[in-house]
């Protein structure tokens, strides 16, 4: 423990978020009458419920009382929740100040809370400062807090580095560590590591915990191994809503719409009530399996289940309509929504215009997007590609010019491959990664040998004949084809490789081909994360 706890007060201070608080806090006058910590907790809960939990004067007063009454570590948690909820960095700092005053700041229960609080307020630096104060040897929970934070901020690689560090120190991971690390694996598509963790979980006897199993299902689902996800799900003794939901999403991700839906029906039969996210999974499943009418029915049935549709549900319905080619209907749907449409909704439609070659509507949609958000590089790319594909060269040039004028930042598309426990990431237009070059070259060669034409995501369904199958396959290929080949090996050659490996015969043979090439299991998936690529070294090289 440090003898000068004040040095723990972080600098520089984050500017306090200028959320103008309401002039009156109905619960504030009650605070002084709370004579027990329990009463304080209740009042705090009420404040959070009313949305005024982070009202600065309220938080300050709460903290003062906590101090007076000998703040137990748990009370800092109330403050943390309140501060995090409002991203109130300043009030969080006050909570920290209270902790320092009461000598609780270095308490083994308090440090993780502080780490988490700063992380949730976006102050990574202070979170790290707190972490560095954790003495070695008794810091599993603090590690957990850091790992969780990294995962939540989409930095799975960092989470894995911390996990390794923990192990090197001989710290025993808990179920919390393992669920977080599994989430990191899911984000990275790191199946081999995920399996290793699964083995560890079995040996540690943690494989009956619902949360752990849910994380496993999610990891397997996102890493391309649906069978393993099903195995875990079926092996569970009890399943809660979340477990059912992840399994539904896993099916959906693999384009098993029917299975996703029968699971949903089964879930309801067993008396588990779906929530908003379960419905998202169901809608997602429908839109990615071409089940338009079913999707619309489920959308309509949401209110009967007492759930109000949110933007994301609208997004799924837009996708459902647009992907199936009902572009005008999708346009009307967005236009007539009870809420103000977001750029994402229009973007969903724009992307479908792209795959359906609908320039005219695409133009209208593109304009709607620009009204809302003209900083998103992807919109310009999709629209200008659409123009190029339909021969609208003038329009294409205009868009490209516009893009330059606006100085839009292009975030490159990113794909990743796991080879021998190592996740490699590749970025659009960057062919410097040694594995990437070799792989793309070889894959292209092999594809040519079997008569596979690059850039053929549209070709898949053409040969199928049957209308329904054709539509269904188009979903697979459009959704699942990843722009692995954005690494152009020769001018004009774009290769697309399929993400989820067992959706259709074409995809399957692709996967087989790729794994034959390397004689080992390979996972391909797309990630849209931003990483730096310096001196020819991919930052993912350190992950595992």
Partner DNA sequence: GTAGGGTTAG
Residues 169 to 188: which contact DNA by CB under 7 A? 174-177, 179-180, 183, 186
Q: Is residue 311 involved in binding DNA (CB under 7 A)?
A: yes
Q: Is residue 413 involved in binding DNA (CB under 7 A)?
A: yes
Instruction: Give the three-state DSSP class for 287.
Output: helix
Site string for DNA, 505-544 (x = CB under 7 A): -----------------------x----------------
DSSP code of residue 14 = P
Question: How many amino acids of this chain bind DNA (CB under 7 A)?
Answer: 81
Q: Is residue 210 involved in binding DNA (CB under 7 A)?
A: yes
477-493 b/e (C-beta count within 10 Å ≥ 16 → b): bbbbbbbbbbbebeeee
Q: Is residue 240 involved in binding DNA (CB under 7 A)?
A: yes
Question: What token pair was written down for 118?
Answer: 């700063």
Cβ 179 to DNA shortest distance, Å: 4
- The radius of gyration of the chain's CA atoms, rounded to the nearest angstrom, is 26
Cβ 175 to DNA shortest distance, Å: 4
DSSP code of residue 447 = H
Chain residues 381-410 in contact with DNA, contact rule CB under 7 A: 381-382, 385, 410
Give 195 or 479: the residue with its C-beta nearer to DNA: 479
Interface residue with DNA, options 63, 130, 151, 444 (CB under 7 A): 151
Question: Taking the alpha carbons of 38, 40, 41, 45 in that order, is the dihedral positive or negative?
Answer: positive
Q: Is residue 348 involved in binding DNA (CB under 7 A)?
A: yes
Q: Is residue 500 involved in binding DNA (CB under 7 A)?
A: no
Chain residues 77-136 in contact with DNA, contact rule CB under 7 A: 77, 80, 108-109, 111-113, 116
Interface residue with DNA, options 277, 307, 372, 470 (CB under 7 A): 277
Cis check: omega of the bond before 12, within 30 degrees of 0? yes
Picking from 385, 382, 374, the residue whose alpha carbon sits closest to that of residue 408 is 374
Cα 433 to Cα 53: distance, rounded to the nearest angstrom: 49
Q: Is residue 207 involved in binding DNA (CB under 7 A)?
A: no
Q: β-strand 523-527 against 533-534: which pairing, if any? A: unpaired
Give 25 or 414: the residue with its C-beta nearer to DNA: 414
Q: Is residue 446 involved in binding DNA (CB under 7 A)?
A: no
Interface residue with DNA, options 193, 215, 223, 423 (CB under 7 A): 215
Picking from 252, 218, 170, 245, the residue whose alpha carbon sits closest to that of residue 476 is 252
Picking from 260, 191, 261, the residue whose alpha carbon sits closest to that of residue 219 is 191
Which parts of 25-108 fold into alpha helices (H)? Answer: 37-49, 56-68, 73-85, 89-101
Interface residue with DNA, options 94, 126, 483, 500 (CB under 7 A): 483
Q: Is residue 150 involved in binding DNA (CB under 7 A)?
A: no
Nearest-5° angle of CA 163, CA 120, CA 103? Answer: 85
Give 424 or 499: the residue with its C-beta nearer to DNA: 499
Cα 201 to Cα 41: distance, rounded to the nearest angstrom: 35
Cβ 373 to DNA shortest distance, Å: 10
Interface residue with DNA, options 97, 378, 431, 541 (CB under 7 A): 378
């Amino acid at each position: 423990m440090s003898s000068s706890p004040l040095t723990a007060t972080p600098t520089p201070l984050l500017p306090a978020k200028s959320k103008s608080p309401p002039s009156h806090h109905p619960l504030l006058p009650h605070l002084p009458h709370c004579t027990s910590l329990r009463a304080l907790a209740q009042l705090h809960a009420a404040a959070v419920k009313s949305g005024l939990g982070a009202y600065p004067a309220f938080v300050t007063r709460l903290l003062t009382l906590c101090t007076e009454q000998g703040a137990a570590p748990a009370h800092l948690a109330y403050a943390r929740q309140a501060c995090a909820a409002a991203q109130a960095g300043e009030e969080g700092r006050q909570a920290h100040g209270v902790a320092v005053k009461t000598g609780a700041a270095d308490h083994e229960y308090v440090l993780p809370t502080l780490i988490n609080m700063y992380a949730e307020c976006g102050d990574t630096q202070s979170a790290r400062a707190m972490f560095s104060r954790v003495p070695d040897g008794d810091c599993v929970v603090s590690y957990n807090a850091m790992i969780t934070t990294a995962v939540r901020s989409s930095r799975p690689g960092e989470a894995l580095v911390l996990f390794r560090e923990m192990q090197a120190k001989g710290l025993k991971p808990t179920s919390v560590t393992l669920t977080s690390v599994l989430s990191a694996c899911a984000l990275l598509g790191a199946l081999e590591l995920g399996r290793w963790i699964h083995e560890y979980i079995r040996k540690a006897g943690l494989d009956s915990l619902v949360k752990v199993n849910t994380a496993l299902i999610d990891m397997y689902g996102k890493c391309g191994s649906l069978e393993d996800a099903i195995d875990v799900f079926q092996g569970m003794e009890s399943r809660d809503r979340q477990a059912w939901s992840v399994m539904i999403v896993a099916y959906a991700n693999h384009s098993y719409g029917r299975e996703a839906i029968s699971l949903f029906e089964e879930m309801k039969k067993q008396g588990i009530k779906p929530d908003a996210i379960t419905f998202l999974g169901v809608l997602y499943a429908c839109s990615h399996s071409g089940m338009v009418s079913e999707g619309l029915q489920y959308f309509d049935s949401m209110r009967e289940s007492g759930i109000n549709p949110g933007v994301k549900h609208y997004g799924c319905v837009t996708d459902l309509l647009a992907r199936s080619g009902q572009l005008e209907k999708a346009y009307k749907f967005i236009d007539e929504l009870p809420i103000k449409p977001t750029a994402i909704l229009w973007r969903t439609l724009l992307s479908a215009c792209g795959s359906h070659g609908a320039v005219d509507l695409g133009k209208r949609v593109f304009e709607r997007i620009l009204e809302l958000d003209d900083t998103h590089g992807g919109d310009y790319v999709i629209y200008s590609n659409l123009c190029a594909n339909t021969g609208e060269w003038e329009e294409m040039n205009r868009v490209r010019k516009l893009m330059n004028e606006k100085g839009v930042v292009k975030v490159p598309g990113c794909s990743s491959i796991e080879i021998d426990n190592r996740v490699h990431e590749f970025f659009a237009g960057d062919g410097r990664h040694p594995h990437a070059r070799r792989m793309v070259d070889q894959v292209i060669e092999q594809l040519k040998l079997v008569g596979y034409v690059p850039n053929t995501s549209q070709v898949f369904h053409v040969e199928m004949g049957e209308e329904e199958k054709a539509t269904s396959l188009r979903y697979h290929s459009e959704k699942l084809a990843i722009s692995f080949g954005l690494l152009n090996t020769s001018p004009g050659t774009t290769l697309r490789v399929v993400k989820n490996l067992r959706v259709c015969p074409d995809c399957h043979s692709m996967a087989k081909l790729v794994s034959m090439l390397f004689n080992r299991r390979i996972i391909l998936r797309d990630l849209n994360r931003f990483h730096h690529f310096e001196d020819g070294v991919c930052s993912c090289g350190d992950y595992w």
